Amino acid sequence: MAAPPFDPSSTRQRALGADETPSTRPDDDDAPGPKPFLKWAGGKWSLAAEIAKKMPADLKGRVYREPFLGGGAMFFWLSHRVGAKRYVLSDALDDLVTTYEVVRDQPEALIAELETLRDDHSEETFYSVRDKFNGRTKKPLKRAAWLIYLNKTCFNGLYRTNRAGVFNVPMGRYANTPNIANARRIRAASEALKDVDISCAPFEELRQKAEPGDVIYLDPPYVPLTRTANFDSYAGGAFGRAQQEQLADLYRELDKRGCLLVLSNSETPEVRELYRGFEIDVITAARNISSRGSTRGSVTEVLVRNTRSWPPSALR
C-alpha cells in the first residue's frame, strides 16, 4: 500500500526517523551503553558527542532537565558517558511518555508483548494494532507495545494523527524485516531510566519547576527552513511562530533565574533573531528528509547557550 501524499494543513505529525541514515539509525549503531529504542525525527544520536562537548563541564553535579524528550538520544548518551545528579525528562505526547514509563518499569513484560507482535507481524496485524491503538484501551503495557510496533513497521516511522487524534499512517514496506522486539535495547534503556523522573507536560512547566543551577537541554520542533519543510515540526500551526516566541521568552526567563541552557534549532534568521544576545554555535547534521536518496545530505543547525551566565566551573 502506498502512503498517501503528506498534507500539512490537515494533520498533526511528527516524522519518526526521517533524519536517520543507515549509519546513524539506532538499530545499526554498535556503540556501548543505552540507545534510543524508537526512531525519531531530529534524533540527536549522530550529534550527541558534539552536543555533549557544549554541555556544562560540571553536569555531573547538577540536575538535568529535558522537556522535549522525543527519542531521548541526548539523555541516553549523557547518562552512560557523563552522568548527572538527577534526570527530569518530559514530553507533551502522552503515549510517548507512557512508553518510556513502561520501558523503565516493565521491560520484560514489554519484550514479551513485542515478541508476540513480531511473530504475528503481517499487514492484517498492522491494521488491527493500529485500530486498537486508536481505541479506548488505556492499559499502559498494551499502548507502549503498540506504539513501538507501529513505530517500527509504519511508513517511514511517521507519527501522524488527523484532527480527531486518529493515528492514520499506513504500513511501511521495508527491504529488511524491522527489529520489532529489540530486547537488548529495551533492557539497556530500562536500566538507564531507573530512578529517572518522567512526566507528560508542556515545556512551559519549566517556569514552575526549573531551579537555579539546573542544566536544561531544549530540542523543540524546529523552525522550518521553508514553508513546506515541516518534517521537524508539528504541522497545522501546533508549534508555529507563536510557540517559538513563547519558548524564546521562557529561555530568557530561565537565563535570568540562573539555569544553564542549551537549545537546538535550525539555522535560520528567525532563530538568530529570537536568541539574539546569546552564544550561537553552528553544527552540521546528517539529514534524510524523504525516502528518496536525492534528498539526503547535510544541513546546518544551531546550538544556543547562555554561557555568559554560567559559573566558571561549568565552562570548558
Residue type, 77: W
Label residue 296 by pLDDT band (50, 70, 90).
low
- Domain limit, last residue, from 194, 214, 232: 194
CA atoms within 13 A on the CB side of 186: 24
Q: What is the pLDDT of residues 37-48, one digit of tens each?
A: 998 877 899 999
Q: Which residues touch 61 (CB under 8 Å, ≥6 apart)?
A: 85
User: Residue 192: its pLDDT value, please?
Assistant: 98
In a domain? residue 51: yes
Segment 201-206 mean pLDDT: 96
Environment class of 22 (CB within 10 Å of its CB; exposed 0-12, middle 13-18, buried 19+): exposed
DSSP SS3 for 34? coil
- Supply the range of the domain harboring residue 303: 32-92+201-310
Give percent of the chain with pLDDT exceeding 70. Answer: 83
Residue 15 predicted with pLDDT over 70: no
Mean pLDDT of the chain: 87
Q: Which residues contact 143 (CB under 8 A, 6 or more apart)?
A: 95, 98, 99, 133, 137
pLDDT of 291 over the 50 cut: no
User: Distance between CA 315 and CA 294 in Å, rounded?
Assistant: 41
Asked if 218 and 83 sit in the same domain, the reply is yes
Residue 316 covered by a domain: no
Query: pLDDT tens digits, residue range 124-162?
Result: 999 999 999 999 889 999 999 999 999 999 998 888 888
Distance CA 233, CA 158 (A): 12
CATH number at residue 132: 1.10.1020.10
In sequence order, what are the beta bridge partners of 86?
63
Q: How many CB atoms lie within 10 A of CB 248?
A: 20
pLDDT band at residue 168 under the 50/70/90 scheme:
very high
pTM: 0.86
CA distance 238 to 63: 29
